[in-house]
Structure 1
Amino acid sequence: MRGLRGLALRPRIRTRIRTRTRQIAAALVAGLMTMSLAACGGENEAGTDSFTIGLLFPNRVTPRWEKWDKPLIEQRLKELCPRCTVAYANAGGDVARQQQQMSSMITKGASVLILDPADSKAMRSSVQEARRAGASVISYDRLTEGPISGFVSFDGAQVGRLQGEALLAAMGGSGNVVMMNGDPTSANAAWFRSGALSVITGRLKVAKSYDTAAWSTDNAHANMSAAITALGSDRIGGVLAANDSIAAGVISALKTAGVRKLPPVTGQDADLDAVQRIVKGEQYMTVYKPFRAEAAAAAEMAVALGRGEDVQDMATTTLDSATTEDIPAVLLTPEAVTADTIRQTLVDGGVYTVDQICTPKLRPACARAGLSP
């Protein structure tokens, strides 16, 4: 395989992608979603598997982990490996807790761990512990350091580019932007930021930039309040919020400051609250990352590793972290969502129903957005 070197996902960890030629991510996703049990070793073999797969998520402030990713991964694992056991833990934003949770799963004999790290660097020692115990680790959604066996996520640079392009359009190509970045302990935060900056640099002025610890709505509110105090609300033309939890804090701070005409605010994850804010005109856009495909890819990879199979053929690319080279990776394609595309992206895609989005108070706004039942 020949590929491209030097494309930095995150400058601090010097991550590089090498993309396989003529491979199309969409084709992979379709294959993952329809792959038969026979392709993973046969129905009889699946019935005799009995290994344990650990699933570890970083926090509860991001609704999708508990609402979507956890049940989707568990469902797909059950389909692929009916007798496998799934052990689940959520760190609640506490890195030490996640380290303890992972150590406990390793001690109890988990063969494979699907890890979304609370801190990409701090979890390196836990990944090393897993390797010493003979367990494989798949890094999920966020890249973690250490000797991982695979990575399943979305193209983070493209997430940032979608946010930057939307903000650029909403602001008419000029003005001051406040950057409300993600938690710097996440490998994805700088990845999103670099993608956004590749679009807006030289066109929009970054007046203030903040990191948001724990991706917390409260921390985002505090940072946005500081930006309003420093700049004045009338000098803020737009806010590039890294995800929907951060966007919620940004919008609440603007409202608290008495801002009536809210500037365009970006987001990510297509949380239901965020979609409703978009309908109301409070949030300009979000980025939807089709989590069904991500969950399916992680489950496929986990079962293959548990059976001792090579996952290279499942990967659409390989990448290097600061500690590990040539990691087999599946990087999927995110989608921008605005008021005009909620129906085609999220409703037609089966993420939410119109009734879920359009509460009685939102029905007039939903009608304007073309979301009437």
Structure 2
Amino acid sequence: MLAGKRILLIVGGGIAAFKSLDLIRRLRERGATVTPVLTRAAEEFVTPLSASALAGQKVYRDLFDLTDEAEMGHIELSRAADLVVVAPATADLMGKMACGLANDLASTLLMATDKRVLLAPAMNVRMWEHPATQRNLAILQGDDVLTVGPDVGDMACGEHGPGRMSEPLAIVDAVEAALADGPLKGKHVLVTSGPTHEPIDPVRYIANRSSGAQGTAIARSLAALGADVTFVTGPADVPPPLGVKVVKVQTARQMKDAVDAALPADAAVFAAAVADWRVANASGSKMKKDGSGNAPALEFTENPDILASVSQMKKGRPKLVVGFAAETDDVQANATAKRKRKGCDWIVANDVSPATGIMGGNENAVTIISDEGAESWPRLTKDQVAAKIAAKIAEALA
């Protein structure tokens, strides 16, 4: 899939830099040309000779190499690639990118490039969780920078948690998704997924049984067809797909804000199981039993209707709006009524009665309801359902 593609690989300084050597090999196995750039800190972990030998290319290291400036220049180097990959992306490199700093070759290339950038973050768990890093990450994602990982696991320092660089094959998958050249190339598709958690107090919340598996599979299939996917997800059981812009939320109101921020889009797929109501009198501290045996009275208020608000937009409405209807009774009739009420183009209806095993399972049986009528599909894996939905979206947007 990567035959003829040119990857500019920036290697940051961290113990995960050793994985960059295997990443070079894996990218070349798939036909890509890899041009490595090593920061000074990266050279403490891998040598330019080893990177050059595996890449079969010269390694670039110094911003002020006059020979290189005369022959190519850092501007041309930054734009000759099809994709810029930073692996490992250290906290320092992410901070420089977020703040627009350019004081060495790596940061200058990242500022000068007109191509998409894919980051594979790697750092200590405390550094990853630090507010400054998360703030920088949000800025970069807002700038359309792609990320893969980090993974959760043991650190070289002995700690455990998120911060491990994704494995080379996972990064290759993200590279392929970022460079996918399919029928949806150049199209922006918004996908929501997973449940929402509506707080009762700081400890308890109201949720549903959605795993997020179907929405995740749809986002993955759309990216494989070349779409630029913004993936807004609640606290799902499955990890988000690679090669898409991920926005994590907890509540329905947060999801509504994230959807509004992601627009405009060519298509929007609302696969999330958004809570219809939230607790109006949620407590700011943990509710305690008072010995009376009486349960606290919870007052509910309606959450914003994300599907209806986007479907009924007067200006900037996506060309195609797809909703989901998870029903337990009169599936097709209820889904048809929902489509009319919300104003979306399609409704993907399914029976989530406990006996079906669909909610939280690996399979799905859906009916697509549109102006053309109802199109029922046989029971398939959720990946197969996602591929068929993505293909149908590509046809609609053609």
TM-score calculated relative to the size of structure 2 = 0.27
The structure whose RCO (Cα within 8 Å, separation 6+) is larger is 1
* Larger CA Rg, structure 1 vs 2: 2
Pick the structure with more strand per residue: 2
TM-score calculated relative to the size of structure 1 = 0.28
